[in-house]
Structure 1
């Protein structure tokens, strides 16, 4: 895709010839890159000038910190904004700040290309300011990294970066010395020794495995009467196929956190999230199954898979991910949707055992009833779980949800019944704090006509949220739907880590490291021209959600919640219980809250409830 030469004059009436930066931007556009998240600086000025020359078809979103640029580039792909995410930052500190966001993309297998400025070639090696060996720095996070030193490299380096990012679902980085950015571009490399003339045509992808492998997988699954499925983010785009094969097998379905919207979380055969923040029904599903089908997931918690010896089949687009977490019998390399369709056809004569799903429905109904009970329990002042159940009751069908890391992640996993058609994501593998607002911003730019709910704890809000709320205030008038609602669970405590200290280490909460200053987040929102309200009464939670949705502008709900609210894992071990009790006995400063909230929450979460299918 050739773009007309920019018509900015240089001398007289002579048209301006494209620079290396113009050609980089043009070639990136041919791969579908239309939006860059970043922050400017003199090391990348050539590229920002090239973007300035193309205001009609390309967009630069200025965030408050380069880390946000990396998060947002990954989230751009996760929320369906385009095939590639793109970040643009300057040299030295810009590249260093970007790293965390790029690791989030790499660990969650999101294709992102980063354009990073660099010290001029003429000064490199001389200890120039901001001079860092960026190829060495970025080589761990990037599947491909190269410095562009000559105009003749533009085409093949951009093509290789984009193709590598897409083919391997990873990060690719182009390091661009500032002086090279302004050189005149070589748009058509010669047919000569030492030059590459590359293609920007997209690559085909594997579709379905060989017929013999599919038949072997079907044979394994036919032998089961109690089939469990674990679905991950690789199932996006295969929602109907996941439901069809689950129905054919009579399977129960557990979901990785990154795949919550793949299946309807309201269905009785869907047990919800799996893992440390998951549900008791998901753990029981894995403990009691006699066959396992894993699709598009590499959920890392080994203790949440079935006991070894359960025959298992795995499907993944990346053959290197197969058999990585559990000793599977059959590994199928292919796209989830066509592979599941082919597998479903081979299972046409399979008759599932109805009692298995009936049992799953009973466990799941009991769990959901227990969780609603936990959320309704009194707390000091507001139960954070109630905040999420009140949102669940009001969640629009086209909602987008971005989630930060902490106890809010658990309440999201347990109380929001997301369903196909919704979008929801988080930093799933890196588990980085500070991604909630950047993810929300990227989601909103990808779908400006849909409502967005960003769920944060106060630690994450203080880390990136306060500053990135400025970004929301800057851009929200461009969005067709102004609803961008930020929830801050304000307990003045890094509570997830506090509970980890108690249950894992057996030590009391270390106040010097855990307590947070009480910030007026709602007031900060109002100072930016947004809607903001602080909630300290549980009866005001529901009305506050409704007011935020009706505000006609972005909103912040600053809800003061109980720091002692206990996130009970689905396998709260005897050792963890002993450690937690030991922390209380050793003088935990919140021992009263632990006793007040710990026992009721644990009882409602772990004790079975029968005949309670009303939740």
Structure 2
């Protein structure tokens, strides 16, 4: 059977054997001959009924029973062994973001479960379905301060939409069903924690025989995402606001993914430039005649200018959190479309809130829109965007030494396939990707959005390459983020996943460096001075391809070689550590505090000033 899941994906659930509850000691479907079925097998079987075929995790004595269940059903579910539980959660999150399917991660009790949290918060804040499964001490010792006794169900309360400790084997089939439905339905994290003795109990045991357990239906489960459509009355109100607007813009977020052609049709009708949130970068191509780049610190100058200029804003599938980059309250009429009613209107006053799927809503709204004959507003920002592209192109110059990170990002954009998937970390690396990696064809782009955590780029790439073995998957990461979870490159080698890893190596925590300066403080504690690990050597030692580049002239050939390498490949690129990730539009306060940092004794001010001067010269030459 086929289950519809969020993101308009389709999941093959498989026929699966229904869970049979019967006499203790009888062998049930899926178990090995001569062995009674374990509760952990019921767990795995229940997951396969939902189409789960991959679990990312790290074993431990708190989940040995679940590992045995996975071993007995290894023909149905693949266990991807990672080096750190945080990576398992990131992989589950990246898998869910890219496929729309449930991501599943597994960790042992105590510290193992604790390590999952950062990756799970990434799933929570970016609204993707993930199921976390953890171990727990035996029920007989709970509450006795036993070794590694951490009440993970309590710890996970804030991160989860559904959170339950299993205390009776008979609970398992029904609670797995509820957990998966909740993760899909509420677009978030579900958590089930299993005490050791429950994991290895025989299936079907109900020690207290009190009431009938919550069992799932005997057919393969199906989750149908409702095609939410606003009422005709609300659609009419929205169309009235948009038709009366003289200077309209569209802000598209990841909730509009899959509705790109409809978003462009709306832009054409309204004469509206499209600005994109970072997570929504892949909603429409960057070369669309309506696209004017991003918004916020990582955005473009046209994106910043249009926000100050418009009288009407159409927000599509976005919960953009940085309100200082949005129009001031009361200045602009707002129509917002979001599938979640709790997110409509929380960032700025909304004149017409439309609760619905972006694609379904636009299909109903488009016939009500009147095409604006005056294209002056749109043409103004199309010209500004052309000027912005020229400035960015100037910064991609290959003659600069040290290597400009913009040049590295541009070469990636040039040399990668049109259906490539780029994953990214947080930091300056996100700025270079946002501005110099262009969405075209079937390209996709993933990073930690609202959590903006470091280190998910590599785990995301591993999971997405596992999900899409035939696609080119590149992790574009900084040296700071890579060093945190670098062991997962070995995971890619072990499973034969041909990811390509490109390190933008400035030997520093670049984003924090510039944030300190914008606050008016000289940099402190952000450069890894006196230590330059040989990441290329690590890649080769791990069994993959590894190379290092220090000169711009060597970069094109080295990047081609890495992309063409058979299997996982790592290219470590030494870039200019003093290249500033300047906002698209610099405020007076930012400029003043930046200058103050120099006057207070910024230790790298000569190198930074030189870099800024070179950037300005390159931009002037581009005019």
Query: What is the CA distance between 1:223 and its match in structure 2?
Result: 0.9
| Contact kept in structure 1, 2:268 and 2:371, CA below 8 Å | no
SS in 2 for 1:79: helix
Aligned ranges for residues 507-526 of structure 1 at < 5 Å? 507-511=521-525, 515=529, 517-526=531-540
From 53, 61, 69, give the equivalent of 1:50. 69
Query: What is the CA distance between 1:29 and its match in structure 2?
Result: 1.7
Q: Deviations over 1:307-356 (max 9, x none)?
A: 33211111111010101112110111111111111111222x43342222
Aligned ranges for residues 458-607 of structure 1 at < 5 Å? 458-464=479-485, 466-476=486-496, 479=497, 482=498, 484-504=499-519, 506-511=520-525, 515=529, 517-601=531-615
CA distance in 1, matches of 2:616, 2:284: 28
Residue number in structure 1 paired with 2:9: none
SS in 1 for 2:43: helix
Residue number in structure 2 paired with 1:267: 288
SS in 1 for 2:332: coil
| Contact kept in structure 2, 1:20 and 1:182, CA below 8 Å | yes
Residue number in structure 1 paired with 2:13: none
Query: What is the CA distance between 1:195 and its match in structure 2?
Result: 3.6
Q: Deviations over 1:424-448 (max 9, x none)?
A: 1001111111111001111101101
1:195–1:533 CA distance, 2 compared to 1 (3 A): closer
Q: Deviations over 1:450-509 (max 9, x none)?
A: 011101111011111x21111111112xx5xx3x211111111111101111111x1111
Query: What is the CA distance between 1:26 and its match in structure 2?
Result: 1.1
CA distance in 1, matches of 2:209, 2:280: 47
From 128, 142, 152, give the equivalent of 1:124. 142
1:184 to 2:202 alignment: yes
CA distance in 1, matches of 2:534, 2:301: 36
Query: What is the CA distance between 1:395 and its match in structure 2?
Result: 2.4
Query: What is the CA distance between 1:145 and its match in structure 2?
Result: 0.7
Residue number in structure 1 paired with 2:59: 40
Query: What is the CA distance between 1:42 and its match in structure 2?
Result: 1.3
1:126–1:170 CA distance, 2 compared to 1 (3 A): same
CA distance in 1, matches of 2:326, 2:167: 49
Residue number in structure 2 paired with 1:93: 111
1:431 to 2:446 alignment: no
1:21 to 2:36 alignment: no
| Contact kept in structure 2, 1:568 and 1:602, CA below 8 Å | no
Aligned ranges for residues 138-287 of structure 1 at < 5 Å? 138-186=156-204, 193=211, 195-199=213-217, 200-287=221-308
From 296, 313, 338, give the equivalent of 2:360. 338
From 21, 30, 47, give the equivalent of 1:6. 30
| Contact kept in structure 2, 1:436 and 1:455, CA below 8 Å | yes
1:104 to 2:122 alignment: yes
Extract unaligned runs of 5+ from structure 1. Answer: 10-14
Aligned residues: 595
1:178–1:189 CA distance, 2 compared to 1 (3 A): closer
Query: What is the CA distance between 1:261 and its match in structure 2?
Result: 1.2
**Cα RMSD after superposing both structures:** 2.2
Query: What is the CA distance between 1:383 and its match in structure 2?
Result: 0.8
| Contact kept in structure 2, 1:163 and 1:203, CA below 8 Å | no
Query: What is the CA distance between 1:197 and its match in structure 2?
Result: 3.8
| Contact kept in structure 2, 1:78 and 1:110, CA below 8 Å | yes
CA distance in 2, matches of 1:298, 1:7: 46
Query: What is the CA distance between 1:515 and its match in structure 2?
Result: 4.2
CA distance in 1, matches of 2:492, 2:383: 43
| Contact kept in structure 2, 1:568 and 1:601, CA below 8 Å | no
Query: What is the CA distance between 1:95 and its match in structure 2?
Result: 0.4
CA distance in 2, matches of 1:345, 1:516: 63
SS in 1 for 2:279: helix
1:137–1:211 CA distance, 2 compared to 1 (3 A): same
SS in 1 for 2:487: helix
Q: Deviations over 1:220-263 (max 9, x none)?
A: 11112321111111112212221222222221111111111110
CA distance in 2, matches of 1:608, 1:217: 45
Query: What is the CA distance between 1:409 and its match in structure 2?
Result: 0.3
CA distance in 1, matches of 2:127, 2:621: 38
From 348, 351, 357, give the equivalent of 1:326. 348
Residue number in structure 2 paired with 1:12: none
1:420–1:316 CA distance, 2 compared to 1 (3 A): farther
Residue number in structure 2 paired with 1:133: 151
SS in 1 for 2:582: coil
Query: What is the CA distance between 1:267 and its match in structure 2?
Result: 2.0
CA distance in 1, matches of 2:63, 2:264: 47
| Contact kept in structure 1, 2:504 and 2:575, CA below 8 Å | yes
SS in 1 for 2:392: helix
1:201–1:186 CA distance, 2 compared to 1 (3 A): farther
1:444 to 2:465 alignment: yes
1:417–1:586 CA distance, 2 compared to 1 (3 A): same
Residue number in structure 2 paired with 1:78: 97
1:293 to 2:314 alignment: yes
CA distance in 1, matches of 2:568, 2:56: 20
Query: What is the CA distance between 1:189 and its match in structure 2?
Result: 13
Query: What is the CA distance between 1:112 and its match in structure 2?
Result: 0.5
